[in-house]
Amino acid sequence: MDFNKDTAKKTAELLLQIKAIKLSPKEPFTWASGWKSPIYCDNRITLSYPPVRNFLKQEIAKLVEEKHGKPDVIAGVATGAIAIGILVAQELGVPFVYVRPEPKKHGRQNQIEGHIESGQNVVVIEDLISTGKSSLNAVKALKEAHANVKGMVAIFSYGFSIASENFKADGVELTTLSNYEYLLEQALDSKYITSEELRTLEDWRIEPSKWKQNEN
């Protein structure tokens, strides 16, 4: 994946500044999956900072057009990417829909909320890529609705190999503003972390499901 280095590092810096990304090598977080992790990312925090959300909106919209041309529809993945997806759709002047993890149990039992037509070109917006499973579930729902999914653009990716494998297997092009490597580079440059903490963070990424803080 090609990156604009300036954009990737600025994105990382902004996420660190507002604590949308927190790095804590000495006191790891516990993810919902049970993984122990020295990093936690919650990009919904960006919505509370107008300069940050405007930067993300503009850069994602630019990336969408550069990679895929102007789509007919922007689709956000619920729930984390609904708001940023709406902002991007507004920036591009195109319709917006969002995709639930599964169809509703009541009413019209929609999985896709909003109006979309068969054959329309869609770019999916995501806030964070870990394994890619939930993101690709949204792509599957759009394809089942006969949309032409051009690709996915996200704010940040951990860069796990399993995610790359999943996107490749499903034939979906993923582009992100920044990723784990640029985050660590920026965190070290800005002195959010020490060289020793950098090694811990690099070790975690090798095999995150088995990483233990007391081994580092």
Residue ranges of the binding site: 100, 104, 106, 126-134
- How many angstroms separate the CA atoms of 188 and 177, rounded? 19
- Which residue in 162, 160, 168, 161 sits closest to 139, CA to CA? 168
Residue 107: what are its φ and ψ, rounded to 5°? Answer: 60, -130
Token reading at 36: 């122990």
Binding site for 5-phospho-alpha-D-ribose 1-diphosphate, by residue number, is: 100, 104, 106, 126-134
- How many angstroms separate the CA atoms of 198 and 23, rounded? 10
Q: Residue 8 is which amino acid?
A: A
CA dihedral 170, 176, 178, 182 (to 10 degrees): 40
Binding site for orotate, by residue number, is: 130
Say if residues 113 and 138 touch (Cβ distance below 8 Å).
no
